[in-house]
């Protein structure tokens, strides 16, 4: 991946060609978005505008064929990269990603109704196999699927910006991204807002789909905290592997734990209270 970014950043012609190529391939559109973000982070939005506009053409073509995901991803990632470049704050990036997800979610849901209906039906069948009540509200399941769709889209936006930032550090500032990511901590105002929103919306049935989206910043900050603590305490990569395996195998438990850690870190600044170990 680093070699790809290194080749693309040789000049405007190369990065435009590579970004457009990946925008044409439906399952690899996120690489195009990450390259656009890299240009914006390195050279500014004006330099990235040319690459963005050319990459947007095949993305719009996909939208006209019924899939708005590449275009919405490209637009969202370009916006987040601009926020990161001009604010140098991941907290603002997380707020911007929330806004992008809120705008994108109804658009994605309207175009991907068939996909969500299939997953909702699969969920009903799974519940039936587990001998749970049969009066499952299909509409509620579809609503929850909208929330999952929005959260996944938001996670992809953030992942593309993270990849672009890592590329930027690898090519121009070795080790810079690791330091920046490890120091990420949500400001109290953002943590408090998210907590109030989650508690407030959890009691409103028609708004539960937004809980998935609102929880992504806490997950992101929780992962940054885990990465930072593992490096600070020199615990080894096995802990990182265990964390990500836990997210895959027991997502609800680990997700809740990461959100709790992010909240505690926002209030008590955990990394400042723990010792820094030197690897022998």
- The answer to whether 46 and 59 are in contact (CB under 8 A) is no
What are the residues whose beta carbons fall under 8 Å from the beta carbon of 241, sequence distance 6 or more? none
**pTM, 2 dp:** 0.88
Q: Does the structure show a pLDDT above 80 at 112?
A: no
Q: Does the structure show a pLDDT above 70 at 121?
A: no
- Token pair for 116: 């969500």
What pLDDT sits at residue 45? 84
CA distance 133 to 125: 11
Return the higher-pLDDT residue of 271 and 92.
Answer: 92
What pLDDT sits at residue 114? 65
Q: Does the structure show a pLDDT above 80 at 39?
A: yes
Return the higher-pLDDT residue of 202 and 72.
Answer: 72
What pLDDT sits at residue 64? 93
Helix, strand or coil for residue 204? coil
Lowest mean pLDDT among 32-36, 44-48, 143-147, 241-245: 143-147
Indicate the pLDDT class of residue 279, thresholds 50, 70 and 90: low
Proportion of the chain above pLDDT 90, given as a percent: 45
What pLDDT sits at residue 77? 97
What pLDDT sits at residue 132? 45
Lowest mean pLDDT among 170-174, 178-182, 248-252: 248-252
Q: What is the CA 141 to chain-centroid distance, rounded?
A: 23
- The answer to whether 80 and 157 are in contact (CB under 8 A) is yes
Tens digit of pLDDT for each residue in 184-240?
Answer: 999 999 988 888 887 776 666 566 778 888 889 999 999 999 999 998 888 888 989
CA distance 111 to 129: 30
Indicate the pLDDT class of residue 276, thresholds 50, 70 and 90: confident
CA distance 157 to 97: 7
Q: How many beta carbons lie within 10 A of that of residue 36, not counting itself?
A: 31
Q: Does the structure show a pLDDT above 90 at 149?
A: no
Tens digit of pLDDT for each residue in 226-242?
Answer: 999 998 888 888 989 99
């Amino acid at each position: 991946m680093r070699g790809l970014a290194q080749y693309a950043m040789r000049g405007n012609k190369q990065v435009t060609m590579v970004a457009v190529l990946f925008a044409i391939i439906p399952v690899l559109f996120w690489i195009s978005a990450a390259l656009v973000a890299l240009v914006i982070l390195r050279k500014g939005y004006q330099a990235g505008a040319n690459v963005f506009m050319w990459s947007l053409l095949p993305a719009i073509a996909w939208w006209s064929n019924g899939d708005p995901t590449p275009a919405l991803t490209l637009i969202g990632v370009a916006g987040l990269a601009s926020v990161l470049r001009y604010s140098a704050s991941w907290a603002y990036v997380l707020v911007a990603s929330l806004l992008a997800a809120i705008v994108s979610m109804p658009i994605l849901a309207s175009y991907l109704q068939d996909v969500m209906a299939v997953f909702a039906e699969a969920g009903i069948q799974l519940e039936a196999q587990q001998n749970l009540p049969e009066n499952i509200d299909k509409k509620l399941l579809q609503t929850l699927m909208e929330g999952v769709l929005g959260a996944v889209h938001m996670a992809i936006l953030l992942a593309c910006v993270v990849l672009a930032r890592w590329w930027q550090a690898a090519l121009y500032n070795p080790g810079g991204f690791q330091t920046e990511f490890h120091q990420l901590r949500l400001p109290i105002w953002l943590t408090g807002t998210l907590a109030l929103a989650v508690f407030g919306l959890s009691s409103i049935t028609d708004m539960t789909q937004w809980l998935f989206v609102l929880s992504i910043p806490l997950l992101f900050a929780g992962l940054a905290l885990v990465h930072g603590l593992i490096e600070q305490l020199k615990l080894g990569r096995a802990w990182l592997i265990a964390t990500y395996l836990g997210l895959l195998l027991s997502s609800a438990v680990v997700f809740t734990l990461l959100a709790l850690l992010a909240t505690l870190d926002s209030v008590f600044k955990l990394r400042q209270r723990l010792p820094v170990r030197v690897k022998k």
